[in-house]
Structure formats: C-alpha cells, structure tokens
Amino acid sequence: MWRAFALALQFLTRLPVRLRTAPRPSEFGSSLYAYPWVGWLIGASLAAFDRALQPVHLSGPLHAMLMLTGWVLLTGGLHLDGLADSADAWVGGQGDRERTLQLMKDPHVGVMAVLALALVLGLKVTGLQALVQTGVADTDEVWHISLALPPVIARTLLPLLFVTTDYVRPGGLGAMLAQHQPVPAILWSAALSGAALWLAFGVNGLLTLAAGAACAIGLRSMMIKRLAGFTGDTAGAMVELVEVVTLLALVAIHA
C-alpha cells in the first residue's frame, strides 16, 4: 500500500519521494487507487498554505496568485501540459482521430494551447480570489476549508476514467497503468473518497462532487466520440477542467 501511494505521489506531485527498488508494472497499476488520497494531500496542502497566508492580510488578488503558484509548484504543472497538448490537438485535428493523436505528440505549443492555459489559470486565480474574499477559507479547521475540494474531486474521478474507458496509445506509462489497474480497489478507493467528502464537507461536498462528475462525464463522452478512448494528455486536461468547474461551483454555492 505504501509503495502504491509513493508511486502516486511521485507521478502526481513534485514531492521528493524515492523508492529503494524499481517498481514493477503491477505496482504502477496499483498506484491508481492511491490517486484520490494524493488528491486529499494536495487539497490539505492548499488549505494549509491558505491558512498560513491569512495572518499576512494580503490583498485578494495577491493572496489568490500566491495560492495558485503554490498549487502549480506542488503538482509540477503535470496536467497543465496535458491540457495544452489536448487543446492544440482538439482544434487542429478538425475531427479526425489520427490527426488529433498525432498533434498531441507534437512538442510545439500552438495558439489554442496558450489560450487554454490562460483561460484555465485565469479562472482558477479568479475563483480562488472570490473564495478568499467571501471568507469561505477563513476557518479554524484546516480540513474543512472548501479550497481543498477541487484537487480531491479531480483525482478521485481520474482513476474512474481508466476503469470505464479504453486507453488508446500503445506503450508508455498510461498503457501500463491501464493494463495493470486493480479495478475493485480503484472503485472502493473512489467510493471511500466520496464518502469522506460528504463527511468532511456535507451537502456542499456532494454538490461540488456532482458538478465535477458532470464535467468528467461530458469530457469522457467527447474523448470517446473523437478518439474511441483517452490518452494521458486528455486525462490531464480532464483533471484541470474538473478542478476549474469544481472551483466555480464552490464560488456559486458560497456566493
């Protein structure tokens, strides 16, 4: 269990985690059920960082920008890269499956990638600012800060994409994850994470989860229609977009 969690930490964050021995392919697959709990760690870190900034009394925009910077540094911008590649490929592919897959492998950054990154990061920092200014984040209990929800929900839903959808690229880490995924453990882990969201955040947690799930289902439908499955890039794009949707849902709930 620890090795699965450590592998998930290595992949989803930039925390200095090292394993004594090289992981087996089956262990890479097992790491999928740890994704929701890495999401909880990211969410708790984000909430704790917000709490640490509270006594400084920064302006709303600066507070939100520092929060977003910490968020990106912790995750290493991993999923932002997938978002950029997916945006370029989705528009440039013009509905053609093979061309879309080919463009995702192109290392060059196009206009749509830049626009997608600007819009997503802009929405995140604006959403963070709105939550900070409404006082939602100002609480004595770090674990009940709503700012923790987007990373948790996105990484709870991500393994379910592997369980329900074909991975369309041969080889690579994504194919290894898909081939060796422990489906029952993934489903139980996602269910436990969902239950924890309800216990920690109540109805607001469930409403935010529903918004994130609706976004993920819609994106999955688009992936199947265009690609007959998903890639690592589209999975990363899903994480980023689910985070944006859940963050905006929180703003709407607490408006």
Instruction: State residue 230 phi and psi, 5-degree precision.
Output: -140, 165
205-226 mean pLDDT: 97
Domain total for the chain?
A: 1
Q: What is the DSSP string of 176-193?
A: HHHHT--HHHHHHHHHHH
pLDDT tens-digit series, residues 239-252: 999 999 999 999 99
Asked if residues 178 and 162 have their Cβ atoms less than 8 Å apart, the reply is yes
pLDDT tens-digit series, residues 145-197: 788 899 999 999 999 999 999 999 887 777 888 888 999 999 999 999 999 99
pLDDT tens-digit series, residues 66-102: 999 999 999 999 999 999 999 999 999 999 999 999 9
pLDDT tens-digit series, residues 32-67: 999 999 999 999 999 889 888 888 888 889 999 999
* pLDDT above 70 coverage of the chain, percent: 96
Q: Which residue segment(s) compose the domain that 120 sits in? A: 2-253
| 138 pLDDT above the threshold of 60 | no
How many helices, marked H, and strands, marked E, lie in the chain? 11, 0
